[in-house]
Amino acid sequence: MRDKLNFLKSVSERGPARAEEERLMQLFQNRAGLKKAYADLQDEFHLMRDRLKQQEGATIRIQEQLDALGELLADPRTGFSALAFFQLRALWKTCHQRLAAFASDLARQQEERETAKFRDECAARRLERLAAADERLQTARADADDVRVRLSSADTEFGRLDPLWHYFKRRRLLKPLHALRVEVADADAVVRDLQIDRNRIAAEPADAFAGISLGARRNINLAIIAYAELLCEQVDAFGVAARAKEAVARRVHEMSFGSQAECESYMGRVQKAIAAVSNQRQVNSSVKPKLDRLRGICGYRNAADTVPTADSLASAPAAKDAKPGPAPGWNVLAEDYWDLYTLLLR
């Protein structure tokens, strides 16, 4: 009895102690969680402070550039050069936008054509599979009906042998009759399985279009390159193509266009080039001869590449039926005119 009382006393004493231990454990866990959250906040704080410093530095640099630009524009000797510089950049941007719209239209039209063709092919394959499944199902149903007719005939024959004197004959028919019932069950199972297969084919989701084919992407890229050449020719008719490329590669204070009269002449030619590029029509008919020429001389690094090598386009001969004239001197791919590489399909 005394041992039992001592046990109950020890249990009653351990109860509060265990609760206190659990409370202390919970406090330690909460403390560890708070320390981790605090460390995470400290890391985030330092990261945001570094980003703020970077942004402040970028803002200071932009302000310095604006101040320098303001000084350039305020000086009569450099202000007109700065205006010509930014108009050349505007010309480059206009040509890039025209080229981007051309590339987007080509890719969209080709994707629509190939998607429609892909869907038609998928539908044709599905119809062919459904036709084959229907044919198998029809054959299986015919076989099942034939077995069922034979079973019905055997059942009828077995029913006629009801008199007692046909006992042995009835026994002889029991085994074939059972075999026919098993054959009917098997035939029905085949029909059921074939019906499930047919339903599965009919319920299959449409295949996803994998994208424009390799050959189409190559043709589109060649067309983009051909159009870039055409833009170079149109812009260079006003003598500003090379200067436009120079303007996007250099800073405003690094270029000079001469006196005020020379700068005004530049700006006039730039505006004419922008108008010519913006108002051009019948682009496809002008691009086609160049595209045919590029197809004849382009080369690729490997069988899966969609962008031709710049070296293969370096000396593109004229087409056989082209009119005589100077050989083309624009390798727009090598010099990345109008930011061409950003528009090519990979």
**What confidence tier does 173 reach under pLDDT thresholds 50, 70, 90?**
low
Gap between the Cα atoms of 222 and 289, Å rounded: 12
pLDDT score for 326: 37
User: Which pLDDT score is estimated for 320?
Assistant: 45
Residue partners of 256: CB distance under 8 A and separation at least 6: 78, 81
Mean pLDDT of 33-39: 81
Whether 158 contacts 175, CB under 8 Å: no
- Residue 299 gets the label, from left (phi > 0), alpha (psi -120 to 50) or beta, of beta
Confidence of residue 252 (pLDDT cuts 50, 70, 90): confident
3-7, 19-23, 56-60, 180-184: which is most confident = 180-184
Say if CB 226 and CB 287 are below 8 A apart: yes
Q: How would you label 37-73 residue by residue, b for 16+ Cβ within 10 Å and e otherwise?
A: eeeeeeeeeeeeeeeeeeeeeeeeeeeeeeeebeebb
82 burial type by CB count under 10 A (0-12 exposed, 13-18 middle, 19+ buried): buried
Three-state secondary structure call for residue 205 = coil
pLDDT band, very low/low/confident/very high, at 14 (cuts 50, 70, 90): low
Q: Is the pLDDT of residue 94 over 90?
A: yes
pLDDT, tens digit, 9 for 90 and up, residues 277-333: 988 777 878 889 999 999 889 999 999 999 999 888 875 444 444 443 334 468 898
DSSP alpha helices (H): ranges in the chain?
2-74, 76-160, 167-203, 214-236, 241-249, 260-278, 283-297, 332-335
pLDDT value of position 327: 40
pLDDT for the residue numbered 76: 62
Summarised one tens digit per residue, pLDDT across range 152-164 is: 777 777 666 666 6
Q: Residue 211: phi, psi to the nearest 5?
A: 115, 170
| Residue 333 in tokens | 């791919």
**Is pLDDT larger for residue 22 or for residue 95?**
95
0.75 exceeded by pTM: no
**124-203: in CATH 1.10.287:** yes
Average pLDDT of the residues of the chain: 81
